[in-house]
Amino acid sequence: MEIWQIWCVVAFIFIIVEVLTPAMFFLNLAFASFFVAFFAYFNLDITLQVILFAIMSLVGILILKPYMLKKETKIQKTGIEEKYINRKAKVIEEINDSQGAITIYGERWLAREKDNKIVNVNDEVKIIANEGTLFIVEKLD
């Protein structure tokens, strides 16, 4: 097996390790290994290959990793936020600290008051948040 093939095998091992531990660390090493494999194909000295691997690994870790991990912090809206949040609803079962229900759009939903206040039947509330199928509401005065 030639040295450039060994670098390719090392790169594939780094890719497998990256898949098993998604840390965006081993992927940089895999890219560096493929890069060195290209030059090793043209009979670059082994010492220069190791130096090139070290340099490319550092470049990947210091420059590419932050770029690849950059995430947009945009909060994705779901249908619940757009359809229910900040809407008025009617209480159909008294809301207290352990139970309660509201109706909106002809649908029944479990509800809790944000400050654990008691809200009577037929009072109007404003939906301010949801936790799964439970709405957090605030009483309208």
Residue 74 forms part of a structural domain:
no
pLDDT at residue number 131: 87
Q: How large is the average pLDDT for residues 90-115? A: 93
pLDDT band, very low/low/confident/very high, at 78 (cuts 50, 70, 90) = low
HEC string for 50-96: HHHHHHHHHHHHHHHHHHHHCCCCCCCCCHHHHHCCCCEEEEEECEC
pLDDT at residue number 75: 56
Same domain, 85 and 64: no
> Is pLDDT of 127 > 80?
yes
Backbone angles phi, psi at 127, to 5 degrees: -80, 125
> The domain that contains 128 carries what CATH number?
2.40.50.140
The more confidently predicted of residues 38 and 97 is 38
Same domain, 37 and 16: yes
Residue 50 forms part of a structural domain:
yes
Q: How large is the average pLDDT for residues 126-130? A: 92
Cα separation, 109 vs 84, in Å, equals 11
pLDDT at residue number 103: 95
pLDDT at residue number 141: 77
Cross-strand partners of 91: 102
